[in-house]
Amino acid sequence: MSISPDISQAKSAATAAAPIVYVCITCKRAGEPESEPRPGAILAAAAEQAAAGTEVEVRRLRCLANCTRGPSAAMRCNGSWTYVFGGLDAACAEALIAGARLLAGATDGILPWHGRPEILKRGLIARVPPIGFEEVGP
């Protein structure tokens, strides 16, 4: 059975618009000894569990270059700003998913301050504009 082009395109569009949380699996807290599993990998597993049944996709990656403030994660959605967070742990997984869902609903592509989980206020490292962004006005 083949999927019609309309259904296939709709699935691609839905996937492309889904918020994504990237979790560094090599992260550990600065100054902590090497251990396995890494705290970042534990955070990734917790985020995957928290995202189950939602539209949020969790992707594991190696190194967000935020080693002094790890464990780290980033979130984005098509057309949105990208947000990088640090100082996280497995208990932050639900907040990451809630934040990604909040970002996906933001019409201006900016993660709202109001309603943002507290750890995503305190742990913000950077906000990166979307590709093609141009500042408007002075």
> Domain with 85 in it: what CATH number?
3.40.30.10
Residue 3 resides in a domain: no
Residue 4 resides in a domain: no
Distance between CA atoms of 132 and 124, rounded to whole angstroms? 23
Is the entire prediction scored with pTM above 0.85? no
Q: Does a cis peptide bond (omega within 30 degrees of 0) precede residue 5?
A: no
User: Would you give per-residue pLDDT tens digits along the chain (138 residues)?
Assistant: 444 444 444 333 444 578 999 999 998 777 777 778 999 999 999 999 999 999 999 999 999 999 899 999 999 998 899 999 999 999 999 999 999 999 999 999 999 999 999 999 999 999 999 988 888 877
Q: b/e for 96-123, b at 16 or more Cβ within 10 A?
A: bbbbbbbbbeeeebebeeeebbebbeeb
Reduce the DSSP state of residue 98 to 3 states and report it. Answer: helix
What is the predicted pLDDT for the residue at 4? 46
Reduce the DSSP state of residue 94 to 3 states and report it. Answer: helix
Residue 51 resides in a domain: yes
Residue 31 resides in a domain: yes
> 24 has which bridge partners?
61
Question: DSSP letters along 13-70, please?
Answer: HHHHHS-EEEEESS---TTPPP-SS-HHHHHHHHHHHHHTTSS-EEEEES--S-GGG-
Residue ranges making up the domain that contains 111: 18-128
Residue owning tokens 């639900």: 94
Number of domains making up the chain: 1
* Both tokens assigned to 26: 């090599």
In this structure, the strands spanning 20-24 and 57-61 are parallel
